[in-house]
Amino acid sequence: MSVISNACFVYVDIHVQITNKLENGEDLTLHCKSKDDDLGVHLLHRDESYRFRFCPHLLGKTLSFCSFVWSGQVHWFDIYNGKKDNCHYCNWRITHSAACDDKGCYQYNNNPP
């Protein structure tokens, strides 16, 4: 991932938004990373969002993943995978059972990255 101030010269930059939609109003702690960048830990209250953007790798090798913590449980999910995702504005809703975008909901990964 690139820092927000970097410009994409070949591809359009990717915008990711993650919103806390935990059903019982719990706070969500998230931590997003890629191979090259660590975006740090962020606390989201109910309905709050965290946003970042980056320039994708030319060969579709971009992989960004996030861990999500609530009620002492840790879950993680590939929030952007350049080999399968084709969104330029990737909007995610985090619920107890899945990470959801405009196409559907997806189970969290079982094993940590």
Is there a domain that residue 90 lies in?
yes
Q: What is the pTM of this model?
A: 0.86
Number of domains the chain is built from = 1
Query: What is the three-class DSSP state of 103?
Result: coil
CATH number at residue 19: 2.60.40
Is there a domain that residue 8 lies in?
no
Which domain covers residue 87, as residue numbers? Answer: 14-106
* pLDDT in 10s for each residue of the chain, 113 residues: 333 445 566 567 889 999 999 999 999 999 999 988 999 999 999 999 999 998 887 666 788 999 999 999 999 999 998 888 878 899 999 999 999 999 999 999 876 65
Nearest CA-CA partner of 102 in 87, 112, 113: 87
Is there a domain that residue 3 lies in?
no
Is there a domain that residue 111 lies in?
no
